């Protein structure tokens, strides 16, 4: 059950066109960034590297909102928190300095 060459060529052209638009979107994202925003992103990445995560003991249920998770973690004397996937479930993890 072979496909006609025209159909295969059509799908290949669609694929190449889609890949081109994806790359263009990525480039336009980076082009819009100012030096200040790039520095802020770098600082945030460094800050994340300096934090260790510990699963919250008081958070109950599925973690849908990182804001709620952070509030619970603050009550547990952590610096913040965020929802992360673990074993296909979203759980609340608290941040603390390493």
- Indicate the pTM of the whole model: 0.51
Extents of the domains making up the chain: 51-98
Q: With bands split at pLDDT 50, 70 and 90, how would you rate the model's confidence at 5?
A: confident
pLDDT digits (tens, 9 = 90+) for 50-88: 788 999 999 998 999 999 999 999 999 998 999 998 888
Whole-number Å distance between alpha carbons of 54 and 15: 42
Q: Which of 80, 89, 76, 77 is nearest to 53 (CA)?
A: 80
Q: Which CATH number fits domain 51-98: 3.10.100.10, 3.30.30.10, 3.30.70.100, 3.40.50.720?
A: 3.30.30.10
Whole-number Å distance between alpha carbons of 63 and 65: 6
């Amino acid at each position: 059950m072979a496909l006609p060459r025209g159909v295969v060529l059509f799908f290949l052209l669609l694929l190449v066109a889609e890949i081109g638009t994806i790359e263009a979107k990525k480039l336009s994202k980076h082009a819009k960034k100012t030096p200040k925003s790039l520095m802020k992103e770098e600082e945030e990445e460094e800050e994340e590297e300096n934090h260790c995560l510990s699963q919250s003991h008081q958070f109950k249920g599925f973690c849908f909102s990182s804001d709620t998770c952070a509030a619970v973690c603050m009550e547990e004397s952590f610096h913040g928190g965020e929802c992360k996937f673990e074993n296909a479930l979203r759980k609340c993890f608290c941040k603390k300095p390493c």
